[in-house]
Structure 1
Amino acid sequence: MKIYYSQSFLVKIKSLTNTEQKLIGDFVTSLQKNGFTGLPGRNKASTGVSKNHANRIKLIQFAIANCLYHYHIGYKSYDTSKKFGDWTSEYVVHYTNKDNDSIKLVAYGAHPPFKLPKNADLV
């Protein structure tokens, strides 16, 4: 799998701690070697917007149109109460997945609250 990076993600990663950079690096290395197989964290489409969100439909449409997903990276730590592969963490990496051969990392941040990347983050 090929990994690409948005311009804003490249700027963001420079401001992260060494631990965060290593976790993202481990994620990238795993993807390059094994694709999405064997990842410890939850990995899912970013269409699960709260039913109570005022702009729910608009956000879901944005996520679908831009093929947005997010992966729980394990920072500051994983909640391991669920099975391996479904572990969650406070911080996630957002990415676009438009085909099976490549992804683009576009944003990184804490949730809740869950925030989708902005249009500018996708470039």
Structure 2
Amino acid sequence: MDISFSKHFRRIFSGLPATEQHKIANFISHVKKNAWENLEGRNKKSDDINPASPDYWEKIAFVNQFNLWHYHIGIKQYNLSKKYGDRTSRFVLHYMRKPEQVKIVDMSEHPPFTLPTQHQLH
């Protein structure tokens, strides 16, 4: 699995504390070794958008065009009341997913769920 980063995410990563960088590095290592099997956090396509949301169809088209997903990274911590593989956390990593490629593009708080902008994908 080839993993790359947008310029936007590189800036975010460089400003994170070492403990949070370590969690992201562990995610990257896991995906390179095991792909999507046995991840601790919830991992899902980012198309679960409220139909009442402004620009709903544009958001769905954007998600599908760039195959956007997000992963609950465990920052600050996981909600351990949920089962392994479906644990949520305050922050998610946003990434573009292709069969053998992943490009991490953003990290944001969730809730509220916000998609990265097209500019942040590069």
Q: Secondary structure at the match of 1:49?
A: coil
Task: Report whether the alignment pairs 1:69 with 2:69.
Answer: yes
Deviations for 1:15-35, whole angstroms, at most 9, x for unmatched residues? 112121111000000011111
1:111 paired residue number: 110
Deviations for 1:46-101, whole angstroms, at most 9, x for unmatched residues? 00112231222211111011110000000111112222111111100000012x21
Deviates more, 1:25-34 or 1:48-57: 48-57
2:16 paired residue number: 16
Question: What is the 5 A alignment of 1:50-69?
Answer: 50-69=50-69
2:20 & 2:56 partners in 1: Cα distance?
30
- Superposition TM-score, scaled by structure 1 size: 0.94
2:93 & 2:42 partners in 1: Cα distance?
11
Residues paired across the two proteins, number: 122
Structure 1 gap ranges (5+): none
Aligned-residue Cα RMSD (Å) equals: 1.0
- Identity of paired residues, percent? 39
